[in-house]
């Protein structure tokens, strides 16, 4: 990141605003002169060095590293380091970075008490969003937007997300609080805190892979929302809170839950084809298929999760969910020409790791927080207030009538 101070950021943005806001206001009044792209589809709004997503080729890379290479060789910690520092770490750098994350992983008693006073029926995403807001109040450097301060905030958020989610889930069930184990890595610590016992090596590798593959994905809805907040020069915590609220929406973060519910409803591999054909006849959407970006090629992340699903099923000695998932994928390709996206195979992987359905979206947040924080820091480094136009299609000018004349 560049070494701009907060004052520099404010000055640069303020200098730019006087003309841009005027132009925006004029643009809003020119009815019919601006092409409308609903949902900003196909609109490029910024340059980024973080992530390359190519829907036509079905490719994805982080900082130039192909997602396949990352999936086969990297850890989640390496991925976070790469996103924040632009380069893969050396062994010494990774050891220091992992130790720094471990130091920040636990939450203090005050933060934990916030989780315990929330009603038991509060959704985990709401608990996570509330706790992140509380973390900002406890951060003495919350008002500091310099790059080093933001890296520290990002490290706290990445480290604490799994602890918050796991311990809120435990509190809901009346289970004892579990502190993170300093000897365990990021993925294995989450499973340990959630379940109360250390995961197997294969389970750790599966959790690591799922988190790595979901760590970053360009200007998706939650990332863009975070950048909009950051563009106002609000703080890191506010930007991340915005992202959490956006991910909570079922059109963004809920596909993996619904994909797993579908597999549970199907029940047996023999039921797959009649179930899918009946659902399609009702014009029901099959969750986990198709993608806003990957329209002509498969999501490159799905194949790696399919392989991991097979390994988890093999470890359990039961290929039940692997057979159902692959049969659904084959049926959808044959009938609709659609390929599974990352949510489809992630669903049974998370389920076999013992993660309950209500935590699927929070796990998405745990995985995506490195990407959110990286994107926020990039926004700060080259900021301009994000202010799109709207094409006014309401009534033309109407004279005001006094209330007694209406």
Mean pLDDT of 261-290: 95
User: Which whole number is the average pLDDT over 369-375?
Assistant: 98
Which one is predicted more confidently, 391 or 324?
324
Chain segment 67-112, per-residue pLDDT in tens: 999 999 999 999 999 999 999 999 999 999 999 999 999 999 999 9
Residue 360 pLDDT: 97
What spatial distance separates the first Cα and last Cα of the chain, rounded to whole Å?
Answer: 59
What digits encode the pLDDT tens for the residues 134-150? 999 988 787 788 999 99
SS3 of the chain: the string is CCCCCHHHHHHHHHHHHHHHHHHHHHHHHCCCCCCCCHHHCCCCCCCCCCEEEECCCCEEEECCEEHHHHHHHCCHHHHHHHHHHCCCCCHHHHHHHHHHHHHHCCCCHHHHHHHHHCCCCCCHHHHHHHHHHHHHHHCCCCCCCCHHHHHHHHHHHHHHHHHHHHHHHHHHCCCCCCCCCCCCCHHHHHHHHHHCCCCCHHHHHHHHHHHHHCCCCCCCHHHHHHHHHHHCCCCHHHHHHHHHHHHCCHHHHCHHHHHHHHHHHHCCHHHHHHHHHHHHHCCCCCCCECCCCCCCCCCCCHHHHHHHHHHHHHHHCCCHHHHHHHHHHHHHHHHHCCCECHHHHHHHHHHHCCCCHHHHHHHHHHHHHHHHHHHHHHHHHCCCCCCCCCCCCCCCCCCCCCHHHC
* In the predicted structure, residue 37 carries a pLDDT above the cut 70: yes
The yes-or-no verdict on residue 355 having pLDDT over 90 is yes
pLDDT of residue 24: 44
pLDDT by residue (tens digit) across 220-255? 999 999 999 999 999 999 999 999 999 999 888 889
pLDDT value at residue 18:
39
309: pLDDT strictly greater than 70: yes
Token reading at 48: 């980024």
Q: Is position 404 annotated as part of the catalytic site? A: no
Is the confidence at residue 2, as pLDDT, over 70? no
At residue 102, the pLDDT reads 97
Q: Which of 28, 252, 268, 397 is catalytic?
A: 252
- What is d(CA 99, CA 334) in angstroms, rounded to the nearest whole number? 48
Could you give all domains of the chain from N- to C-terminal order, each with its CATH number? 51-251+357-381 (1.10.580.10), 255-352 (1.10.230.10)
Which residue among 108, 291, 397, 404 is the active-site one? 291
pLDDT at residue 145, as a whole number = 81
| Residue with tokens 């029901």, as numbered in its chain | 284
Question: In this predicted structure, what is the pLDDT of residue 353?
Answer: 97
pLDDT at 276 over 50: yes
Cα maximum dimension of the chain: 79
pLDDT of residue 125: 97
Q: What distance in Å separates the CA atoms of residue 144 and residue 233, rounded to the nearest whole number?
A: 11
Can you give the pLDDT at residue 34? 64
Predicted local distance difference test score (pLDDT) of residue 28: 46
**Catalytic member of 171, 217, 235, 343:** 343
pLDDT for 58-72, tens place per residue? 899 999 999 999 999
DSSP β-bridge partners for residue 52: 61
Segment 377-389 mean pLDDT? 94
Check: CB of residue 302 under 8 Å from CB of residue 341: yes
The answer to whether residue 32 scores a pLDDT higher than 70 is: no
Would you say residue 21 has pLDDT above 60? no
Model confidence at 130: pLDDT above 80: yes
pLDDT for 16 equals: 46
pLDDT at 364: 97
Q: What pLDDT does 15 receive?
A: 45
- What does the mean pLDDT of the chain come to? 90
- Residue 1 clears pLDDT 60, i.e. is over it: no
- pLDDT for residue 8 is more than 70: no
Per-residue pLDDT tens over the stretch 176-190:
999 999 999 999 999
267 vs 381: CA distance, rounded Å: 50
- Judged against a pLDDT cut of 50, whether residue 347 lies above it is answered with yes
Whether 268 is a known active-site residue: answer no
Beta bridge pairs of residue 289: 340
What lies within 8 Å, CB to CB, of 314 at 6+ separation is none
* In the predicted structure, residue 56 carries a pLDDT above the cut 70: yes
State residue 14's pLDDT score.
45
Mark whether 126 is an active-site residue. Answer: no
Task: Quote the CA–CA distance of 30 and 291 in Å, as a whole number.
Answer: 34
pLDDT confidence bin for 57, thresholds 50/70/90: confident
Cα 212 to Cα 49, 56, 58, 69, 93, distances in angstroms? 18, 22, 17, 11, 19
């Amino acid at each position: 990141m560049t070494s701009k101070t907060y004052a520099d950021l404010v000055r640069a943005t303020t200098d730019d605003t006087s003309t841009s806001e005027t132009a925006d206001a004029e643009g809003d009044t020119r009815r019919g002169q601006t092409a409308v792209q609903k949902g900003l589809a196909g609109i490029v709004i910024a340059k980024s060095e973080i992530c390359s997503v190519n829907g036509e080729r079905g490719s994805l890379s982080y900082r130039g590293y192909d997602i396949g290479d990352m999936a086969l060789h990297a850890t989640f910690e390496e991925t976070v380091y790469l996103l924040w520092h632009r380069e893969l770490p050396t062994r010494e750098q990774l050891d220091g970075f992992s130790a720094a994350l471990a130091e920040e992983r636990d939450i203090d008693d005050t933060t934990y008490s916030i989780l315990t006073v929330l009603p038991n029926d509060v959704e985990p995403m709401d608990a996570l969003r509330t706790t992140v807001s509380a973390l900002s109040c406890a951060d003495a450097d919350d008002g500091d937007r310099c790059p080093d301060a933001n890296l520290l905030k990002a490290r706290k958020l990445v480290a604490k997300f799994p602890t918050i989610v796991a311990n809120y889930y435990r509190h809901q069930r009346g289970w004892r609080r579990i502190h993170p184990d300093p000897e365990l890595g990021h993925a294995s610590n989450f499973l340990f805190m959630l379940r109360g016992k250390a995961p197997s090596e294969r389970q750790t590798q599966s959790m690591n892979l799922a988190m790595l593959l979901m760590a970053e994905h360009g200007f998706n809805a939650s990332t863009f929302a975070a950048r909009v907040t950051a563009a106002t020069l609000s703080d890191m915590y506010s930007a991340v809170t915005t992202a959490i609220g956006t991910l909570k929406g079922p059109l963004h973060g809920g596909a993996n839950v619904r994909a797993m519910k579908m597999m549970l409803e199907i029940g047996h591999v023999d039921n797959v084809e009649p179930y899918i054909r009946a659902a399609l006849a009702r014009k029901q959407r099959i969750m986990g298929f198709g993608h806003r970006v990957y329209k002509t090629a498969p999501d490159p992340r799905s194949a790696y999760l399919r392989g991991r699903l097979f390994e988890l099923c093999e470890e359990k000695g039961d290929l039940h969910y692997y057979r159902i998932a692959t049969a659904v994928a084959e049926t959808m390709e044959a009938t609709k020409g659609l390929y599974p996206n990352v949510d489809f195979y992630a669903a049974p992987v998370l389920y076999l790791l013992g993660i309950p359905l209500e935590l699927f979206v929070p796990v998405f947040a745990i995985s995506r927080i490195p990407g959110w924080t990286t994107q926020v820091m990039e926004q700060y480094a080259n900021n301009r207030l994000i202010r799109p136009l709207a094409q006014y299609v309401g009534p033309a000018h109407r004279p005001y009538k006094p209330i007694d004349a209406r």
